[in-house]
Structure 1
Amino acid sequence: MAVVGTSMTAFDDRTDAGERLAAELERRGLEVEVVLGIPRGALPVARPVADALEADLDVVVARKMGAPNNPELALGAVASDGSVWYNDDLVDRLDVSETYLEEIREEEAENARKKADRYRDSEELPDLEDERVVVVDDGVATGATANACLRQVREAGAAFVALAVPVGSPRSIAELEDEADEVIALRTPENFRAVGQFYRDFGQVTDQEAIGYLEGDG
C-alpha cells in the first residue's frame, strides 16, 4: 500500500482530487493502458488521471448489496459481470440466508449491468486481456464497491490491477491490498468517517456530467 499522507486535508472538489492523484501517479511512474472510473462520482477524478497517464478512460460498475430490512448496510457488492465480494463477518453476524444473498446478488448485478449500459454501447468491459489497469474512485469507505470492481477487472484478464483514490478509510485501504497489485491513497486519516468530509465540494455527479467526463468534455 502506498499512502502519501494521513492529515485531514480537504480537496476543493473531485477535479482537484483527480489532478493531485494524477500528479502522484506520474511521480511514481505508474504505467497503465486503461483507467477505469467507478461511476458516477469517480469520473471527475479519473479524467485527469487518464489524461496524465495517456490512457484510455472507461468505467467499471458495481452495486452494493443491502442487508435485509436495512438496505443502507452493505453486505457486499456485485459487479456488472456478477463478480461478487461479501463482507463475510457481517453476513455471519446477521445470519443472512443463502437464498437472500443469491436474490440480492442477481438483482444488483442486473442493476449494475443497466448502469454500465448507460455509459457505453455495451455492458461489457473493454478488452483488458494482459492490460495494465488502474481503477479510480473518489474515495473508499467500506471498500465493498471497490472490491467487486477489482475482482471484475482481474476476471477480465488484466495483467496488472491497481486502485488509486484520493482518500480512504485506513482499514478498508489495507484490506484492498488483497485484491489489487498496488493500492495508492493520497490520504488515509485516522478520523475518517465518510468520503465527503474531505471535500469542500462533494455535490452529486449526474449521469450527463459523468458521460461528459468519459467523453473528454468534463
Structure 2
Amino acid sequence: MAYHFSPIKLDDKGHIRDSVFAILRNAILDKKLEPGQKLVERTIAEQLGISRTPVREAINQLVLERLVTHIPRKGVVVSGFSKADIIEILAIRTSLEALICSIAATKIKPRDLKRLESLAKQITEEHGKGNYKKSNQLNDKFHEIIYKAAESPRVYSFLYTLHEYITKFTQVAYSKPGRSEEVWVEHNEIIEALSRHDSSQAEVVAKRHAENSSKAFLKMAYWEKD
C-alpha cells in the first residue's frame, strides 16, 4: 500500500469510524488507492494512529459500497470504480433529487427561499473569481437546504449516502466551460418552482439540473459528446 495516511486529529475522534470510512472512500475516489491495491488493516490503523476496530468497521462499509472486495487468501483489495458504477450512481442521484425537490416544494419556507437566492448568486460569483472550492461548498449548501426543507428523513438518508460521490462529480462537472452560467439558470428555475410551491415543475427542473450535471461530468471525465 504505497499511499500513506496522515494521523487523525484528536477532534476527529468523536465519530472515528465515520472519519476512517470517509478517509478511505475519498482515497479510493481520488485514485490515491488504486484498483488491485491491498488494504492492510494493521498498517492503516498505525498510520492513522488509532485502533484496528474502526478501520475494520470502515472496511466492512466499503465492502457494502462495492469499493473494496474480500479475496480469499489475499485479503481486502480495492475494487476500483467503473464507468458503469458512476452512471448508476448518477441515475439514482437524478431520481432522488427530483423526488426530494418535488416534496420540498410543498413545505419550503420563505427564509429558505431567501437563502437559496443568496447562495445561487454567491455560487456564480465565487466560480467567476476562480474560487472553485468555495463555489462547490456553497453548491452543497444550496442543495442541503432543499433536502432539509423536504422534511423527508428517508429520502435525505439515501441522498446522504451519495454525498461524497455527488460532491466529487459536481466538481468535475463545474470544470466544463460554460457550466457555471448553466447552473445559474438551473438554480433559479428551481427557486422559482419552489417559490410557487409547484411540485410538478420542481420535479421537472430538478431532474433537468441533475441530468445536465451528469452530462457535464461524463463529458469532462470521459470526453463524451453532448
Same fold, TM-score > 0.5, yes or no: no
Q: TM-score, normalised by structure 1?
A: 0.23
Bigger RCO (CA 8 Å, 6+ sep): 1
Pick the structure with more strand per residue.
1
Normalising to structure 2: TM-score of the pair? 0.22
Greater C-alpha Rg: 2
Higher helix share: 2
